[in-house]
Structure 1
Amino acid sequence: MIFPPSFFTIMVHLTIHLTEEVKLGGPVQFRWMYPIERIFGRFKSYVRNRAQPEGSICEQYIADECLTFCSMYLDDVETRFNRIRRVDDHPVVEHDLGPESEIPHSFPFLGRPVSASRLDTLSPIERQQAHRYILVNSSFLDDYRKVFKSELSRSQLRRRKRGHVIDIDQHVHIHFSQWLKQKVEKNGLGGMSDDMRCLAAGPSSKVLNFSAYNINGFKFRIIERDQDLKTQNSGIFVSAETISYASSRDINPRSGNVSYYGKLTEILELNYYDSFRVVLFKCKWVDTRDARGFKKDQFGHSMVNFSRLIHTGSGEEDEPYVLASQARLVYYVEDPQEKDWSVVVHVQPRDLYDMEDPTSSDEIPPQVVIEDPPIQSSMTISDNVSDIRLVRQIEDLESSQIPSDLYDNMEYV
């Protein structure tokens, strides 16, 4: 193919070097000039005396700093320190259950809807699943859950039937709501509070359905609304404590945190007959227990397959709901090479910074650490690019998490 001389322009020649620039500089958002140009444009607007532009910029900058400092001490005035954030998740209403109620501690009213509501009716199985998840997250009911479990164990002993731990736990998980309701109606439990009576009655089958909700500094949208938009706000990440059994005869099950990834399908406000309200997210969850639904690629990125789902909501024991306060936002990038697989990208809320103060305490609080991809000791670059040596500065070796293979792949300068 013969190209005319007019084809070889600077823009065509630029594409030849894009691959090398990516290898040398990494992601473009860490090296572009937009922030620099933006602050220069702001300084340019400070100029009032064209004969002395530098002095105008200095005086205006000092004035801005003084006003910013003074605004920290102003009340009832909107400043940059108290203005509404871009994602406004301040709750519209608050719980009014009294100071002795434990429900606000377990289900604090957080976030706010940012869409119109629609009145829907839950099916019996959907109502049971949503109510069961509320009871599971009610920590003040754990003692009564143990009472129900001991009653099941004693009844099986009287019938000379030995039940497995997994069967008893599953029965308690599914039928605890019915047992609690019967006990409260018959006053069969001591020390019953108003919170217990409220939860035992169960929620109304009438719920408010939203298409968007702000909470935890994130803006969530359901899949149906996300389909017509360029942005993606329907990815959900939840880290939940899960009990694992080695077999059906395992008498010592283990519990640990398991990561679940899903897509938001419904946003429901559950109403416990005006005693209190709680917002739930209904999602379709990827089966992270199976290698066909979740895996790590060669760079350490999490990958999910939404053709392998779990807790679809069709079964009585399914758990498609989570509390809105437990959800974190992620987005999924489709893998162009592997069909049905997507790469998970975690997102941090706007205006949220990890300002760790090591001088305040010797113990560092636990944090969610998203590990970097493994460092590669070699990089393939064209011949006209000089050799590159990767250097990483390590600070505070005792408190940082260092991959075991880091020293093998690092070359010091």
Structure 2
Amino acid sequence: MYLKDVETVFNRPQRNHDGGMRNEKLSVFAQSARPFGDPGRGESFSRNDMEVAHWFVLNNCDKIMAYLYEHEEMMKREHPSHLVAQKHHELFPQWFLDSVNKLKSSNSPTYSDELYNLAFGPIRAELFSGCNVNDVKFLGVARDDKLCTQNSGVRVPGGGESTDIDFYGKLTTVVQLLYKDRYQVIMFKCRWFDTNPNRPGSVKINHGLLSVNMNRTWYDDDPYILANMATQIVYLDDPKAGSGWNVVQKMDHRNVYAIPELDPTDNDVDNVADQCLESSMENDAETLRDTNSITIDLGDLPRYDVAVGPSNDDVVIEEAEEEEEEEDWEIESDDSDDNESYYSSDDE
């Protein structure tokens, strides 16, 4: 998470910035993602893979939705209904490039270099085994399976005609599509599990927990998403459901917080901050009230209370108050002179 008012490597102004209007990139070119690591052996990226990935990029760039709609309506007028989707997929990339070239030749204000580079298409692709997306580390499954941690689980909310179906899968390869003028798009190639609730044997819900069948895959011919679409999840074995079934566990990352944006001109900003602080203090007090104490008796040694909170990660030891009066620890001796010399700091 990056705060818009805090300077980081991602929002720091250029050294030679002259203060003019900033040339904003298209959303697909402005992802906060950094790929790393070599891909696993046997990973390849064909020309067909390039076309499928680029088609997904085109369909998920807000700036060209009008072009997509215009071309689809054209295809409906020129082709039978059962061929519209196929022709739209096949002919749109070239039609889009021709349309952008016309904007450039006519000096249209809607033309931009980013739009042209997107229409021109990727010139090559690079593969990686991992990627950091908004401070969250993802690893390809081939690398992830060698570790005791899990960073390959991916969840994407449903979209289009499947708005009420979430997609669950595992990251296999990180793909960086390279366009002209050093523009790039980071994509995830995933193995998606069948989560269609209308098909038996795809998902199970037991006591509010969702289990997916990892033996059944979905969208094998369309495995790509933009990297910033992914939410990380963890899969846990579901022995009750049987082999191949895993429970989906959503997670919150440590040190990543959703801080609400406040209007500095609002007079109630201080009140909101005070309310947040009071709420935090109330939560801490509630945690202390729920804490159980276990007394450990160590005989003659001072007794301690061990506070066992809701989590066993941290154990707080507090010294207990003595119920009896403190014992006299002075050393007694039959020889009073020895005692006096023991406590005396001056030699006589």
TM range (shorter): 0.5 to 0.7
Q: 2 CA distance for matches of 1:286 and 1:197?
A: 36
**Pick aligned residue for 2:192 from 285, 295, 300:** 285
Describe the shift of the 1:117–1:288 C-alpha distance in structure 2 as closer, same or farther (beyond 3 A): closer
Amino acid at match of 2:58: L
By how many angstroms is 1:172 displaced? 2.5
**Which residue does the alignment assign to 2:48?**
125
Amino acid at match of 2:115: M
**Which residue does the alignment assign to 2:37?**
115
**Which residue does the alignment assign to 2:138?**
220
**Which residue does the alignment assign to 1:230?**
148
CA deviation map 1:242-292 (0-9, x unaligned):
226xxxxxxxxxxx2531000110011110034311211100101212444
**Which residue does the alignment assign to 2:72?**
149
By how many angstroms is 1:321 displaced? 0.7
Q: 2 CA distance for matches of 1:94 and 1:123?
A: 38
**Pick aligned residue for 2:245 from 332, 341, 361:** 341
Describe the shift of the 1:354–1:91 C-alpha distance in structure 2 as closer, same or farther (beyond 3 A): closer
Q: Secondary structure at the match of 1:152?
A: helix
Amino acid at match of 1:343: V
CA deviation map 1:2-53 (0-9, x unaligned):
xxxxxxxxxxxxxxxxxxxxxxxxxxxxxxxxxxxxxxxxxxxxxxxxxxxx
Q: 2 CA distance for matches of 1:202 and 1:269?
A: 13
CA deviation map 1:84-121 (0-9, x unaligned):
xxxxx96699999x834441x34323132343579986
Answer yes or no: is the 8 Å Cα contact 1:234–1:264 preserved in 2.
Answer: yes
**Pick aligned residue for 1:198 from 117, 126, 139:** 117
Q: Does 1:273 align with 2:195?
A: no
Describe the shift of the 1:179–1:211 C-alpha distance in structure 2 as closer, same or farther (beyond 3 A): same
Q: 1 CA distance for matches of 2:75 and 2:220?
A: 29
Q: 2 CA distance for matches of 1:117 and 1:199?
A: 25
Q: 2 CA distance for matches of 1:94 and 1:181?
A: 32
By how many angstroms is 1:209 displaced? 1.7
After TM superposition, the structure 1 stretch with the greater mean CA deviation from structure 2, 230-239 or 114-123, is 114-123
| Higher Cα radius of gyration | 2
Describe the shift of the 1:171–1:240 C-alpha distance in structure 2 as closer, same or farther (beyond 3 A): farther
Amino acid at match of 2:84: I
Question: Which sections of structure 1, spanning at least 5 residues, go unmatched?
Answer: 1-81, 83-88, 245-255, 314-318, 363-413
- More strand by percentage: 2
Amino acid at match of 2:69: K
Give runs of aligned pairs for residues 77-96 of structure 1, distance below 5 A. none
Q: 2 CA distance for matches of 1:297 and 1:216?
A: 30
Give runs of aligned pairs for residues 12-411 of structure 1, distance below 5 A. 99-103=22-26, 105-116=27-38, 122-156=45-79, 163=81, 167-169=83-85, 171-173=87-89, 175-184=91-100, 191-205=110-124, 207-243=125-161, 256-290=163-197, 291-292=199-200, 294-313=202-221, 319-337=222-240, 338-354=242-258
Q: Secondary structure at the match of 1:113?
A: strand
After TM superposition, the structure 1 stretch with the greater mean CA deviation from structure 2, 126-135 or 331-340, is 331-340
Amino acid at match of 1:179: W
Answer yes or no: is the 8 Å Cα contact 1:101–1:195 preserved in 2.
Answer: no
Question: Which sections of structure 2, spanning at least 5 residues, go unmatched?
Answer: 263-267, 273-348
**Which residue does the alignment assign to 1:64?**
none
Q: 1 CA distance for matches of 2:261 and 2:31?
A: 29
Answer yes or no: is the 8 Å Cα contact 1:221–1:264 preserved in 2.
Answer: yes
Answer yes or no: is the 8 Å Cα contact 2:130–2:173 preserved in 1.
Answer: no
Describe the shift of the 1:288–1:124 C-alpha distance in structure 2 as closer, same or farther (beyond 3 A): same
Aligned residues: 249
Q: 1 CA distance for matches of 2:13 and 2:137?
A: 20
**Which residue does the alignment assign to 1:76?**
none
Q: 2 CA distance for matches of 1:147 and 1:108?
A: 25
Answer yes or no: is the 8 Å Cα contact 1:293–1:306 preserved in 2.
Answer: no
Q: Secondary structure at the match of 1:130?
A: helix
Describe the shift of the 1:233–1:356 C-alpha distance in structure 2 as closer, same or farther (beyond 3 A): same
Amino acid at match of 1:177: P
